[in-house]
Structure 1
């Protein structure tokens, strides 16, 4: 039986998500008792997963460059569409992790709602969304059964330091925290630092002190953890561009997205994402 041709778009990069963490409630706007906080001078936490173009006033010093891009396009293992490399990968509709303090799913198995993926630029632009319940496509996560949420949520939450390091380049998280703390202290104590900036930097230093004192604390442990996702995209797709005749995207069959998110850095509210969009082609 001949294998059906499949276009695979591989992508990766840093994302931002400014969210409160347990035991703070999910909608806590500033952060009180968890491990993440909106600092002095910053807007409220909004939980939105941002893959490109973070809002003004949200990028902290020493944060990685936010941006998820296509790194390779191939068909059945053969590199194709080189113009797709560097294309933007975006999630539309202000997506959020929907766990709600264990109300909807267990930790690390929450879905991302909405999940509306768009890859744009180069030879082709593709757009399609996850539909958890075809009978009620606009239903709130609160109205859907937990097994359905988990089917489209993360399959597993696990520690995988080598995998995370292959993306982030951070091979020694504790050393990274020590270096970051030293840089923040210098920044905090600089004569040009404003009082508001000094208050924000002092808070970051205090949080790093907690991580350094206890390597098992989530502020450090989550830097080597990943959530893995794998589910179909079945909404009506949008395809733009002029690919070669032998790469006509199948708009009837489901597409599939597989990715992991991890390497969470609570100091800058950023993590790493790597994945693949697979689409059958005629």
Structure 2
């Protein structure tokens, strides 16, 4: 029987933006910079706080962490299922491999590698896209970008942030308080840089409502199959479709929102997809 896992939450992605080279470590001429006291960019997509660098004054609205929001077994909501609330992770330091349009344009970048894991009882259950990846990763590319009013409404509902511009104004106030209170000059300078950035580039909040869609079948190795009793060994031989969007991008926090569904086991009957 199919097990559908809905998931969602904030992820972080620290990387330079065009026209900087895709592997620029600090940011020079794009819209993202590593400020004083911050580590270099590593381009890693992080679904969990481990290894991330949360910037001050972004909490509580934005907290890095993706989790399972609902589990359905054979189409029925499985209240109290052990995977409900489970942490979701993208393992092996995956990166956006757009490479300044050489591989894919902005919003269509493939995420490589793609190994999705769900934490349960201290162990991980999940699956990889494949056991090997072939450049230029065509199947892993984004399938489309939605910037409609419906997309904006869905992003606002998912994130709980209806107006990023207002949030940026509030964040600037918090950062000014940090500057006034701290004796750490590197932190103070980073806060001042961020305040200036948000004031001078407030039009970037317009990107907050867009969604990039991804869809693929996971066919690689399955891990921790015994942790999900509804699944059989035969289910590990079938492809598992995953559909998700990434949006709600905040150029200051370097965070975005992801929401989607993984279907493990037999797929839906014809006409129900």
Residue aligned with 2:72, SS: strand
- Does residue 255 of structure 2 align to residue 270 of structure 1? yes
Q: CA deviation at 1:108?
A: 1.2
Distance 1:243 1:95, change over 3 A: closer
Q: Work out the CA distance in 1 between the residues paired with 2:263 and 2:8.
A: 15
Contact 2:247-2:257 at 8 Å conserved across structures:
yes
Are 2:172 and 1:181 equivalent residues in the alignment? yes
- What TM-score, normalized to structure 2? 0.88
For structure 1, the 5+ residue unaligned runs are none
Counterpart residue number, 2:5 = 9
Q: Give the conservation status (yes or no) of the 8 Å contact 1:54–1:66.
A: no
Contact 2:98 2:109 in 1 (8 A): yes
Q: Secondary structure at the match of 1:84?
A: coil
**Superposition RMSD in Å:** 2.1
**What residue is the counterpart of 2:76 in the other structure?**
78
1:239 to partner: Cα distance: 2.9
Q: Please list every run of 5 or more consecutive structure 2 residues that lacks an aligned counterpart in the other structure.
A: 268-273
Q: Does 1:280 align with 2:270?
A: no
Which residue of 10, 31, 36 maps to 1:35? 31
- Return the match for 2:54 from 45, 55, 59: 59
Q: Is 1:158 paired with 2:156? A: no
Using structure 1 for the length normalisation, give the TM-score: 0.85
In 2, the alpha carbon distance for the partners of 1:122 and 1:33 equals 45
CA-to-partner distance for each residue in 1:137-195, whole Å, 9 max, x for gaps?
Answer: 244x3xx3xxx52x3211112222111111211101221221111221222222x3421
Tell me the SS of whatever aligns to 1:65: coil
Answer whether contact 1:259 1:273 (CA < 8 A) is retained: yes
